[in-house]
Amino acid sequence: MPLSEVPSPNATKPESEQPISQPQTETPAVSPRAVPCKGCVRAAIAGKGELGRCYDIDGGRSRRCLSCKVGNHRCDDLHPVMIPLARRMLLALDIDTKMYNRCRQALRLQLELIAEEDSVYAPENICEESSAGAATDRTAAEKKDKVAAIMTRLEDVVRLMDR
């Protein structure tokens, strides 16, 4: 190629070769949720995202929070057992780093317990247990013992964080 045909580095490319710019989308108006969704709590546990803050999109049709909508995934409600810890975590977010981290650890433990196959939080099969008679009492006692052990473990985690 002769030197006269080599394009200069400052020359503009033809329109067909120029990159197409994406239209800028404005961030929608949002309002904070009183109780974060499961995805935002999981992100907080992992130390990612808004650290547990969850925002509803104002004026939108979607019931998903902003983070779930942007990430294009489901927005599941938080398990009722986790709600008090999640609220406490949000209160501690800007004030008390130590308490925030303790709440994150407690929430992590709660998620693990809920995910267990024989979780004490699993819905009970009423028909099966009512036909079992005496087995129902044994199962209830076992579950109470398991909950007591879980609470002891949770207290130990909190004590370790105080050190």
Q: In sequence order, what are the residues at sequence separation of 6 or more whose Cβ sits closer than 8 angstroms to the Cβ of residue 144?
A: none
Write down the domain spans for the chain: 28-162
What's the pLDDT tens digit per position in 83-102? 999 999 999 988 888 999 99
Measured distance CA(92)–CA(72) in Å, rounded:
28
Phi first, then psi: give them for residue 123, nearest 5 degrees: -65, 140
How far apart CA 70 and CA 67 sit, in angstroms, is 5
Q: What is the pLDDT confidence band of residue 126, given thresholds at 50, 70 and 90?
A: very low
Task: Give pLDDT, residue 106.
Answer: 94
User: pLDDT by residue (tens digit) across 10-65?
Assistant: 555 555 555 555 554 666 788 888 899 999 999 999 988 778 889 988 887 878 98
Give the residue from 27, 49, 25, 26 showing the smallest Cα distance to 38. 49
